[in-house]
Structure 1
Amino acid sequence: MTSRAATRADVDAITELIAACELDLDGVAEIDPGDVEMSFGRAGYDVARDCRIVLEGDALVGWADVHGTRAEADVRPSHRGRGLGLSLLAWTEGRAREAGQAVVGQMVTDANLAAADLFRRNGYEPTETAWLLQIRFDDRPPPSPAPPEGITIRTYRPGRDDRAVYQVIEDAFGEWPGRSPQPFEDWAAQWVSHPSFAPDLSPLAFEGDELVGAIVYLDYANGDEGWVQQLATKATHRHRGIARALLHRAFGNAFASGKTACGLSTNSNTGALGLYEKVGMRVRRSYTRWSKTL
């Protein structure tokens, strides 16, 4: 086996490898064809330095990348148990250290018991839990309650709302412990330019002319599930039912566009799991972030 720096020409092969690993561990491939391409376009991300692939002949059998304190790595199911996972883990640590990071971590499905064991044996600790949630519509339109008094909801207008939506999301996500700020250009490249971003299905909440809550919605073409990628409410406007109203509107948009379900992911930093369960969503998979101080 040989390893080398990745290039943009490897996007399709990396996507296929991730899909194969997801199918093996979780029984379903969640990766979207645009996800890897989008991640390669993140601000400050250098594909040649930050992404590594492993080949057996011409076949891709492993990959890893590092962006800030976050790493990701996968080994093709047929090539596990050969030490490749440990090698990629060491590479992610070295790359993070080289980039000046004090911590590095990976979020992995709890179905991957071998990865959890690998992390434990190499000085990693569980630092965060994440959940994948879904609401199914069962051929019935979801509830569409009126928004809270004084709140209006309309769809996202690209070019007009970008900065305001970014600020609401960045301020809310910036409350999470240990999170590094994300520049506007990075956020816009990641989500506004995402091939599946659907502004016409992304609801925004206003009080007068002030944006007080937002959803960034992705409309993946290869599935029957709509996707709430980001949801945030201004700190000054929480506990008024705005997030709930935005979710109901997003669910209605998903149903009207022909989706049979809508999903999202959340983590233990947000404290939002209870909200999602109250609007009818159910946990269908859990993940753990394993982190190590370098």
Structure 2
Amino acid sequence: MTLEAVPSPLPSATAAIVTELARSAAESDGVHPLSEHTLLHLDGEHPGDAHLLAYAGEPGAGDLAGYAALGPDGSAELVVAPQYRRQGFGTSLLRMLLDHGGSKLRVWAHGRLPGSDELAARLGLSVTRELYFLRRTSAPLPAPVWPDGITVRTFVPGEDDTAWLAVNATAFATHPEQGSWTQADLADRLNQPWFDPAGFFLAVDQSGAIAGFHWTKIPTDEGDNPAGEVYVVGVSPTHQGTGLGKALTLAGLQHLQETRGVPSVVLYVDGTNTAARALYTKLGFTTAALDVQFAPS
């Protein structure tokens, strides 16, 4: 076994190998081991990111057996190729993450697969956060009811970027990932093959200011009938409690289900967001999987 820490960015060839490793693990486990954020940061210029590689042999000669990503805020993800599990690669990568991340370390375990709790407990980590993965199959939806003075239009790339980032930051001020998006983070998504401005809805007030938004997503790399996704729904603090969040959610669901004809819709919601979870339950979503975040005890 050989371990290597590489600063951002990864060489393109190595990034492609990591992407293939993640794809293989997802196919085996039924859950994606690396988030979209991590995959987008593999070979881009993102100062502060660290990439940890575990090889079954010498780098460049042996197979890539495992990979871990560590962000400057201490957030991390880890994946081991199915054929190399239970051979110490996960433990070695997690030890490296602890060495580099220290007390700030927060490691996501997507799907909370068997073995993740055991590995975390062995190195003194415990669950500090939960992220629910919900799914809804196509079924009739009520019409959205919009608060007075609200109109809806779609996002215009290049014109709405700054205003949207400002509302996103205030709507998710307590959310450690979503609320910290920069122009570069937004640009990464706008340049993806799946991006469709027709599915990115903005609710604007009478002054023209963005009051809330619902960004939907349909993946382009998941076969012929991919699930649609409630990518992110946010409401400005000045418009929270008006029913705008529910109306935006329904508008996006109708777009995905009735306009785009997806067979099902999925979303992620933080375990502490009880109001959103209650709304999604009322709209027919059920829990399909659970992601957990481990941190040093």
Equivalent of 1:260, from 260, 263, 269? Answer: 263
Q: Which amino acid aligns with 1:229?
A: Y
Partner of 1:78: 83
- RMSD, aligned α-carbons: 2.6
Specify the alignment match of 2:101 in structure 1: 96
Aligned length: 282
- Answering whether residue 221 of structure 2 is matched by residue 222 of structure 1, we say yes
* 2:239 equivalent among 237, 240, 261: 237
- Residues 46/83 of structure 1: CA separation in 2 closer, same or farther (3 Å cut): same
The equivalent residue for 1:129 is 130
**Cα pair 1:166 1:187 within 8 Å, conserved:** no
Q: Which amino acid aligns with 2:231?
A: Q
- Relative to structure 1, the CA distance from residue 35 to residue 103 in structure 2 (aligned partners, 3 Å threshold; closer, same or farther) is closer
TM-score (norm 2): 0.84
Q: How does 1:38-77 map to 2 (within 5 A)?
A: 38-40=40-42, 44-45=46-47, 50-56=50-56, 57-67=61-71, 68-77=73-82
Q: Which has the higher contact order (CA 8 A, sep 6+)?
A: 1
Alpha-carbon shift at residue 289 of structure 1 (Å)? 0.8
- 1:261 maps to amino acid: S
Report the CA distance between 1:41 and its aligned residue.
Answer: 6.1
Please give the secondary structure, in 1, of the residue aligned with 2:143.
coil
Q: How does 1:1-294 map to 2 (within 5 A)?
A: 1-4=1-4, 5=6, 6-25=10-29, 27=30, 37-40=39-42, 44-45=46-47, 50-56=50-56, 57-67=61-71, 68-97=73-102, 102-137=103-138, 142-176=141-175, 182=180, 184-208=182-206, 209-223=208-222, 224-255=226-257, 256-271=259-274, 272-292=276-296
Write out per-residue CA displacement over residues 85-104 of structure 1, whole angstroms, 9 at most, x where no aligned residue. 1110111122224xxxx411
Q: Is the 8 A contact 1:63 1:75 kept in 2?
A: yes
Give the 3 Å change call, closer, same or farther, for CA 37–71 of structure 1 in structure 2. Answer: closer
1:248 Cα deviation from its structure 2 partner: 1.2
Shift of 1:107: 1.5
109 and 44 in structure 1: CA distance in 2 versus 1, 3 angstrom threshold: closer
**Which AA in structure 2 matches 1:24?**
S
Partner secondary structure for residue 55 of structure 1: strand
Deviation at 1:31, TM superposition (A): 6.8
Alignment CA distance shift 1:128-1:192 (3 Å): same
CA apart distance, 1:284: 0.6
Question: Does structure 1 retain, via aligned residues, the 8 Å contact 2:151–2:203?
Answer: yes
Q: Per the alignment, do residues 74 and 222 of structure 1 end up closer, same or farther by CA in structure 2, a change over 3 Å counting?
A: same
Kept in 2: contact 1:3–1:52 (CA 8 A):
yes
| Counterparts in 2 of 1:201 and 1:179: CA distance versus 1, 3 Å | closer
> Measured at CA, do residues 263 and 181 of structure 1 come closer, stay the same or move farther in structure 2, by a change above 3 Å?
closer
Aligned CA distance change for structure 1 residues 170 and 134 (closer, same or farther; 3 Å):
same
* Paired residue secondary structure (2:17): helix
Which AA in structure 2 matches 1:197?
Answer: F
Offset of residue 201 of structure 1: 0.4
Q: Which string of whole-angstrom CA distances, capped at 9 and with x for unpartnered residues, describes residues 14-43 of structure 1?
A: 222223223333x355879x7655223666
Distance 1:9 1:125 in 2: 35
Q: Identity across aligned pairs (percent)? A: 23
Paired AA for residue 188 in structure 1 = L
List alignment gaps of at least 5 residues for structure 1.
Answer: none
C-alpha distance in structure 1 between counterparts of 2:25 and 2:141, whole Å = 33
